[in-house]
Amino acid sequence: MESNNTDEHLINLITLNKLKNRIYTMERDNYKTKKITHSQMVDKIRQLIERIVENDN
Amino acid sequence: MIIKSITLYNFRQYKGEHKIEFSMDKDKNVTVILGINTSGKTTLIQAFNWCLYEKCSFKTREVINVEVVKALTINSVKEVSVEVVLIHEEKEYIINRTQSFTKNDSGNVRASRSNINVQFKESTGGMQSIPKLKSGSDQDLYIKETINKILPESLSDYFFFDGERISDINNRGDVVAAVRGLMGLDVISSAMDRLDPSKASSVTSKLSNELDIGNDQKNIKYKTDLEKAKKQLETHQQRKKTAREEIEFFERQKDELTALLLANKDAKENQKRKINLEKDIEIISKNIVSAENRLRNDFSTSAMKFFALPLIKKALLVIDDAKQDAEGIPEMRAKAIEHIIARGYCVCGCDLKKNEGAKENVLHEKSLLPPQHMGTIIRTYKQTYKRFEREALGFDAIIKDDFSNYQNNITLLGEKEDALSAISKQIKGRLDVEKIERDYQKNEKDLKDKRELLIKIMSDIKFTESEIASLEKKIESLTLVSEKNQKLTKSIAYSRAVYEWFKQGYDRQEREVKEHLLESVNNIFEKMYHGRRKVTINEKYQINLITMVGDEATSTDESKGLESVKNFSFISGLVDLARTKARTGSAIESEESINIIGENDELIVSTEAYPLVMDAPFSNVDEIHINNIARIIPEVAEQVILILMKKDWEFAKTALENKIGCSYYIEKNGNSDTNSSIRRT
């Protein structure tokens, strides 16, 4: 089940899978406690993506 | 979710503290609680609902035990509480709701607002509380949400099953959301919300908004300008190098010329003198020519008069002695008189023939003229002599002067030529200092020009360097933007890819949930029900019974018993699906994250197994159905809590015998309707 977007050349599968798991984990943790608002979650996920992308270079 | 225990304190019939610990054994997963009518069986279901959702079917003040209320003294406080301990996703939650009751001066009992607290055990073992909001109308919002994540209130009637009161589950509007929540799809849905590129507040949209479009064109322009500026700088540097070399050359030249000038300082003086002498000689030579001409001119003009003067003087003396100085008509000639006589009238018009004496007068005039008379000539001669005498006067002095001037110039020329000859001999073989000086001056001018040029080149270099620095800064900032763009593009690609993956996984999971639920519900229904009906589930997870009439499916009316079986089937199907997914889901939790990716890159979401808490489940069903249901529910549910009357238990006992983990009996204390105890059997 791979993404069908046109940016595949930019994507490292290991990094992508790491992101899938990390984002899901963050969401699940917040789902239980609801401590973080939507915009905070958006920021957190963005930071996570940018950090992982940075390390992916 | 597995329920570990429930503790009631002064809740309804249960005066004081009463605790039930439920079987958590996987095989013997059934807890049986038996009781007679009005002993407090339904109260247990209500205790769960009150604790978790503040939901109960009786008046608020009836929550507290009647005997406790009666024992209340004025202004004293008594509490009622229910504490449910459950395990959810391997975390232990302690949910406690408490309410205080006070009897006022008038003897009326007042109830406070109930207070709920939820704590869970951290993986480290410490307890953490779900926070309450500090402001807002619903301070328990997070707590409610947490409980809803554990077991949605909308589905609570399915899991805390009141067999006597359960209404038609078809009419529930939020079953879809509840099912999604139970199946773990809500988490995916939340993640999709954060990443959805079509939503303005999503990660993908925010990243996209920060992309700097049009940056590349600027970059190209700046790079081209930078390249030009660098080439220009190279040219300036080359010019600077050349100018410096030229300056060095002219400085060396200056040093050399200065040295030459110093070495030839005397020669310079002589050179000057030589030039002056040459100029003097030239002037004197011209003067000599001029004096010569003047002498010649003066001599040729007056010499004859000067030298003839003594002779003329002597001749005049002779003429004077001859007394021939009668005066005739000047310039008149004898022939002119003869002509007048011949024509017969005078120049005055007088007729010489008619007028007497006229001709004679004319002839007299003729006699005074040469050649008959010399007086006129002598007179003219005298006049010429006087003019000669006047003109010859001072001739000797002039000639003497002219000659003297000429002679002086000749002498001076000789002197100058001698001096020139002497100096020329002196400076013969020496450098031309004047030329050196001219060269020196020219060198100075060139040096000055080159120095000025160098200053200009340095200024050009400074300007170009500043331009380069500015362009580099711009490019650097653009490069930063460009790098930022690259990072953003990459982040967007990941964000989209994760979103797409979640979306596909979500759609697939939702499809599977529906299919599995339908299959599971039908399987269970078939096992429970002994007839020809079947169950269908629509998009909203609403279930319907259909009867096959021939090959045609027809919706049918439902009896109470059939409705109970249908609801049992749906609930059991739901519990079964959750448990199946919980067992088959291979999501692996590590310290950092959970692995939700299957072998074929599919999304795997694990869910929780859920208990079934059933009060009087068999009220409306016959003994065959009781037996069927009793056989099935321990198989599909992770944990079963049956609260029932002894008479129904008789029919279910055989089917459940090997599944009983623990059992309790509710006793009426002293046959009181307001005071019951729970005893483990």
> Is B357 strand, coil or helix?
coil
DSSP B532: S
Residue of A nearest to B588 (CA): A21
Measured in residues, chain A has a length of 57
Residue B587 confidence (pLDDT): 47
Residues 145-164 of B with CB under 8 A from A: 145-146, 149
| CB-CB contact of B107 with B37 (8 Å) | no
Interface test mutation site (partner A, options B123, B203, B599, max chain A beta carbons within 10 A): B203
For residue B617, whether the previous peptide bond is cis, meaning omega lies within 30 degrees of 0, is no
Give the closest-approach CA distance of A57 to chain B in angstroms: 9
Does residue B408 or residue B217 have the better pLDDT?
B408
Q: Which CATH superfamily is domain B2-182+529-680 in?
A: P-loop containing nucleotide triphosphate hydrolases (3.40.50.300)
Which DSSP helix (H) or strand (E) runs through B583? helix B560-584
Read off the pLDDT of residues B288-325 as tens digits, 9 standing for 90 and up: 999 999 998 888 888 888 888 888 788 778 877 776 66
Going from N- to C-terminal start, the domains of chain B cover 2-182+529-680, 265-326+373-427
Question: First vs last Cα of chain B: how many Å apart?
Answer: 25
| Rounded CA separation B65/B674 (Å) | 7
- Whether the CB-CB separation of B180 and A31 falls below 8 Å is answered with no
Name the strands in the sheet holding B543-549, side by side, starting at the edge strand that comes first in the sequence. B533-537, B543-549, B552-555
Min Cα separation B132/chain A (Å): 10
Nearest CA in chain B to A12: B494
Residue B552 has pLDDT above 80, yes or no: no
**Using a CB-CB distance cutoff of 8 angstroms, which residues of chain B are in contact with residue A37?**
none
The interface predicted TM-score (ipTM) is: 0.92
Rounded to whole angstroms, the Cα distance separating B194 from B190 reads: 6
Residues of chain A positioned with their CB less than 8 A from the CB of B502: 20
Q: Which of B121, B489, B593 to mutate to test the interface with A (most CBs of A within 10 A)?
A: B593
User: Is the CB of A24 less than 8 angstroms away from the CB of B187?
Assistant: yes
CB atoms within 10 A of CB B328: 23
Q: State the average pLDDT over residues B583-604.
A: 67
Best mutation target among B185, B195, B494, B594 (most A Cβ atoms within 10 Å) is: B494
For residue B582, what pLDDT is reported? 65
Interface contact A22-B592, CB threshold 8 A = yes
Q: Judging by beta carbons within 10 Å of its beta carbon (0-12, 13-18, 19+), is residue B541 exposed, middle or buried?
A: buried
Report the pLDDT value the prediction gives residue A1, as an integer from 0 to 100. Answer: 38
What tokens appear for B222 in the block?
A: 């700046």
Mean pLDDT value of segment B397-425? 89
Q: Which of B146, B592, B595 faces A32 most closely, judged by CB atoms?
A: B146
CB contact at 8 A, A28 and B188: no
Whether residue B116 has pLDDT greater than 60: yes
Sign of CA dihedral B521, B523, B527, B530: positive
Give A-chain residues touching B494 at CB under 8 angstroms. Answer: 10-11, 15-16, 19, 49, 52-53
Residue B479 structure tokens: 């490069």
For residue B586, is pLDDT > 50? no
Maximum mean pLDDT: which of B221-230, B546-555, B616-625? B221-230
Sign of CA dihedral B577, B579, B584, B588: positive
pLDDT at position B8, please? 96
Q: What is the pLDDT of residues B189-215, one digit of tens each?
A: 899 999 988 787 889 888 888 877 666
> How far, in Å, are B15, B74, B113, B550, B562 from residue B553 at the CA level?
53, 66, 52, 8, 17
Q: B501 and A3: CB-CB below 8 Å?
A: yes
Q: List chain A residues with CB under 8 Å of B496.
A: 3, 5, 7
Burial of B92 (0-12, 13-18, 19+ CB in 10 A): middle
Average pLDDT over residues B21-40: 91
Q: What is the pLDDT of residue B168?
A: 59
Query: Does the beta-carbon distance from A32 to B89 stay under 8 Å?
Result: yes
Q: What is the Cα–Cα distance from B531 to B37, expressed in whole angstroms?
A: 32
Q: Do B489 and A15 touch (CB under 8 A)?
A: no
% of chain B exceeding 70 in pLDDT: 91
How many residue contacts between A and B have a Cβ separation below 8 Å? 130
d(CA A35, CA A32): 9
pLDDT at site B98: 96
Four-CA torsion B68, B71, B73, B75, nearest 10 degrees:
10
Specify whether the CB–CB gap between B54 and B116 falls below 8 A: yes
Confidence label for B360 from pLDDT (cuts 50, 70 and 90): confident
